[in-house]
Amino acid sequence: MKKLLFITTLIGCTAGSAFAQQAKSINVESWCGAYSKSEVEAYNKPFTEKTGIVVNMIDSDDPQTPLTAQVRAKNVSSDVFDIEVAPAIRLCDEGALVEINPDDLPPAPDGTPARDDFLPDTLHDCAVPNILWGTVIAYDKTKFPENPPTKAADFFDTEKFPGKRGLPKNPKRTLYLALIADGVPADKIFETLDTPEGVDQAFKKLDTIKKDVVWWEAGAQPMQLLADGEVSMTTAYNGRVFDAMVAEKKPFEVIWDGQYMDMNMFVIPKDAPNPELAMEYVKFATATEQLANQAKWISYGPARKSSAPLIGKYSDGVTDMAPHMPTAPEHLETAVFDDPEFWADHDAELTERFNAWLAG
């Protein structure tokens, strides 16, 4: 009997201590690949070092999917999610996210309050942005030794630039490119897409390369297709292209003309298991130094103005990061800025139309 008592106490203790340890860790769900690695290096490791809180990184193709599923099932298991703007606004409107007051966020090193330090219109009620990233065209230099393509329109010119094209299998990152290539100015894209004629125009332009397209679904696929020689040109997330070019030394080049600018943001679901620790993490990760640090690992632009001057070299110590940043001034001239409101309204409808077009 005594022995039994002893054993149960022992189990109780270890269970208790295991529990205590668990309370000191948070789950963060983010995208996979080079991007989540940059977050581990720039945010998670220093955060654990400073606070002792362990950060479990959970990878996903698109973290808004598990987030939505967890919220709807009323069983939220992660504390912080790294998602895009449109779902952040949608989930905030649905009351699923914790509201975050910009005054709670750390100021810039020179004392500028966070409200003014983040790029204009990037802070949202429930979300703190960390990076801006671009969808760009990447091509294989060896396929076009002389006369390389330079414009978005060249993507649709398979006569002059032979080879297959890689495009993502969704309307959001294909229709804009068709319109840009058709001569619609970058700041008129969503105005045009809001009309039936504009949508028709985009699909008509896509028709011209439909038979030459290899469709991709996950961010890692386009670089694989390009490396395999399956496509000679593809759109891809600029950080992935950078990773392939610099870290893996592939002969790729980027066309910045008509890049599609997006933002990633941190959100905390209302029923998160550790909301206080989650808030601490978000504050830490979106501070000036951490955002600048992330650029050491991947070429995504920090969302704070005060981070920009701190950006130096890539983690290899040689490559200058500035010219690879999607937020570099010369890359912004023809950039299309994502319009989350437009997509909240029209995503379902255009996805349906896009799928019908694909299948037809």
Partner 1 sequence: MANTLPDPHAAIVIDAGGVAPDGQLNAADGRSISRALGRSQRAARRRAFLLVLPLLLFIVITFVVPIGQMLARSVYNDGFSARMPAVGEWFAAHPVGTPPDEAAYAALVSDLAKSAADKSIGVVGTRINYDYPGTRSLFTSTGRKVDDLRPPFIETLPKVNAKWADPALWAVMREASRPLTPNFYLAAMDRTKNDAGKVVQVAPQQRVYLMLFLRTFILSLVITGLTFILGFPIAHLLATLPTRKANLLMVLVLLPFWTSLLVRTTAWIVLLQQQGVINDLLVWLGFLDNGSRLQMIYNRTGTLIAMTHVLLPFMILPLYSVMRSINPSYERAARSLGATSWTAFRRVYFPQTLPGLGAGALLVFILAVGYYITPALVGGSSGQLISNMIAVHMTETLNWSLAAALAALLLGGVLILYYVYDRLVGIDNLKLG
Q: According to the binding rule CB under 8 A, does residue 296 interact with partner 1?
A: no
Interaction mask 165-184, partner 1, x per CB under 8 A:
----xx--------------
User: What is the Cα–Cα distance from 223 to 27, expressed in whole angstroms?
Assistant: 29
| Residues in CB range of 182: below 8 A, 6 or more apart | 153, 201, 202, 205
Which of 54, 58, 213, 247 touches partner 1 by CB under 8 A? 213
Q: According to the binding rule CB under 8 A, does residue 346 interact with partner 1?
A: yes
- Cross-strand pairs, 301: 132
Piece of 37-45, 49-57, 185-193, 342-350 that binds partner 1 (CB under 8 A): 342-350
| Residues in CB range of 213: below 8 A, 6 or more apart | 164, 165, 166, 167
User: What is the Cα–Cα distance from 192 to 202, expressed in whole angstroms?
Assistant: 9
What is the nearest approach in angstroms of partner 1 to the Cβ of residue 66? 10
Piece of 13-21, 38-46, 233-241, 340-348 that binds partner 1 (CB under 8 A): 340-348
Which of 229, 251, 312, 323 touches partner 1 by CB under 8 A? 229
Piece of 244-252, 285-293, 304-312, 343-351 that binds partner 1 (CB under 8 A): 343-351
Task: Say how many residues touch partner 1, by CB under 8 A.
Answer: 38
What is the nearest approach in angstroms of partner 1 to the Cβ of residue 148? 21
User: What six digits make up the tokens of 278?
Assistant: 């989650």
Q: According to the binding rule CB under 8 A, does residue 357 interact with partner 1?
A: yes
What is the nearest approach in angstroms of partner 1 to the Cβ of residue 262? 16
Piece of 10-18, 87-95, 241-249, 315-323 that binds partner 1 (CB under 8 A): 87-95
Q: What is the CA radius of gyration of the chain?
A: 22
User: What six digits make up the tokens of 304?
Assistant: 């704070």
Nearer to partner 1, 44 or 68 (CB): 68
Q: According to the binding rule CB under 8 A, does residue 347 interact with partner 1?
A: yes
Q: According to the binding rule CB under 8 A, does residue 344 interact with partner 1?
A: yes
CA dihedral over 223, 234, 174, 92, signed as positive or negative? positive
Buried b (16+ CB within 10 A) or exposed e, 261-272: bbbbbbbbbeeb
Interaction mask 25-64, partner 1, x per CB under 8 A:
-------------------------------------x--
Which of 214, 247, 310, 328 touches partner 1 by CB under 8 A? 214
Query: Could you tell me the CA-to-CA distances from 286 to 215, 264, 290, 329 in Å, in that order?
Result: 34, 11, 6, 22
Residue for token pair 């914790």: 98
Q: According to the binding rule CB under 8 A, does residue 271 interact with partner 1?
A: no
Helices (H), the chain: 2-23, 34-39, 45-51, 64-72, 85-93, 114-117, 175-181, 189-193, 196-207, 221-228, 238-242, 275-285, 288-294, 329-332, 340-359
Nearer to partner 1, 204 or 313 (CB): 204
Q: According to the binding rule CB under 8 A, does residue 95 interact with partner 1?
A: yes
Which has the closest alpha carbon to 90: 116, 57, 113, 67?
67
SS3 labels along 260-280: EEEEEEEECECCCCCHHHHHH
Which of 40, 215, 319, 334 touches partner 1 by CB under 8 A? 215
Nearer to partner 1, 289 or 347 (CB): 347
Q: Contact at 8 Å (CB) between 141 and 229?
A: no
Angle among Cα 37, 247, 132 to the nearest 5 degrees reads 55
Which of 6, 24, 45, 94 touches partner 1 by CB under 8 A? 94
In the complex, the residues that contact partner 1 under the rule CB under 8 A are 62, 65, 68, 72, 90-95, 164, 169-170, 203, 210, 213-215, 217, 228-230, 341, 344-349, 351-353, 355-360
